[in-house]
Amino acid sequence: MIRILQFGATGQVSRAMIAAAPGRAVLVPLSRNEVDLADAAAIEAAIAKTDCDLVVNCAAFTLVDKAEAEPEAARAANALAPAAMARACAARGLPLVHLSTDCVFDGALDRPYREDDAPNPLSVYGATKLDGETAVLAWEKGVVLRVSWVFSRFGRNFIRTMLQLGRARDELRVVADQYGCPTDAAALADFILAAAPRWAAADAGDPAFGLFHFTNGGATSRHDLAAAALARDPQTRARLSPIAKRDFPEPAARPLNGALDNSRVSAVFGWQAEPWTSAVARAADQIIAEGLDT
C-alpha cells in the first residue's frame, strides 16, 4: 500500500484525506504542533526520516485578509515551507503534491483561467501562494493543484457559514458579481489518493507532474452558491439579497472571476468532475445532519 507523508492535519482537505485514506494508503498526517511550517529545518528533517512514497502538502496560511496584516507569516507558510519541502523531496527523489489557489489571478479575464494564463495576484495571500508554486514546480516531480472555494463537511467554510447565518438572520446580503468554481474537499482527496500510485511510480517528464486546476464542474457566483446551500435547510429563515462586490469591502482584494478551467486534469488523468451543484447539496446535507456547530 502506498505511503503518504502529509503536511496538515486539521484543515478541510487534510481531514478529507484522513477520512478517505483507510484501505487505500498509509497516511502520516503532521500537524503544525508536530512540524512548524516556519521551521524549514524541521520540515526537511520530517521528509528525510519518514518512510514514504509521496509527500502531500495540505497546509497553508489560508486567512486571506489576515495575510495583509501578517505578510511574513503568510510567506513562511505559503512560500518558504513549500520550498523546503521541494528541496527535501528532490534530495530523496520523492514526488511532492502541493495545493494552491485561484487567487494567483487578478480576475480580469472573461473566461475560466487555464494553467498557461499569466498569474497576477492582487493580495499578499495570492502572491505568497504563487511563490510557493514556483518553488514546487522547480522540482521535476512537483505537482501543483490549484483549487478554489473549497467546501466540505469539515470545519469552517462558506457553506457552513451560510447555513449558520441562514438560521440566525432574516436577511443575508451576498455578493452576486464574484464568480468561481467550488471545490469539494472530498473529491480532491479522492483524486489525490487515486493518482498517488502514478505519481509514486512515474519518472520525471511524465505529464502527471506539473501544474493543474482541480475544481468541481461549472462556475457560479457567491450568491448562487449560498442559495444552493440554503435550499437544503428547511430551518433557514433568511432572505437572500444580491449585492455587488464593491459594497462588501475586505482588507484583501480577490479576483472577481476566479473560475478555473479543469480540462487538463481530465485529459491527463481521465478525471471526471462532478457538477458543483450536486456536491454542494451533499455537503450541505452532511453538515445539517451532523450539526451546524460541529
Using DSSP bridges, classify how beta strands 179-180 and 220-221 pair: parallel, antiparallel or unpaired.
Answer: antiparallel
DSSP, collapsed to helix, strand or coil, labels residue 168 as: helix
Contact criterion met (CB below 8 Å) for 205 and 173: no
CB atoms within 10 A of CB 41: 9
Q: Which three cell numbers stand for residue 29?
A: 498526517
**How far is the CA of 160 from the CAs of 147, 197, 227, in angstroms?**
19, 33, 12
Q: Which amino acid is at 199?
A: W
Kindly name the residue from 61, 105, 113, 125 that is annotated as catalytic: 125
In this structure, the number of other CB atoms found within 10 A of the CB of residue 229 comes to: 25
* Cell numbers standing for residue 137: 514546480
Residue 113 bears catalytic tag: no
Classified as helix, coil or strand, 76 is: helix
Terminal Cα-to-Cα distance of the chain (whole angstroms): 32
Grid coordinates of 53:
512514497
Q: Which residues are catalytic?
A: 125
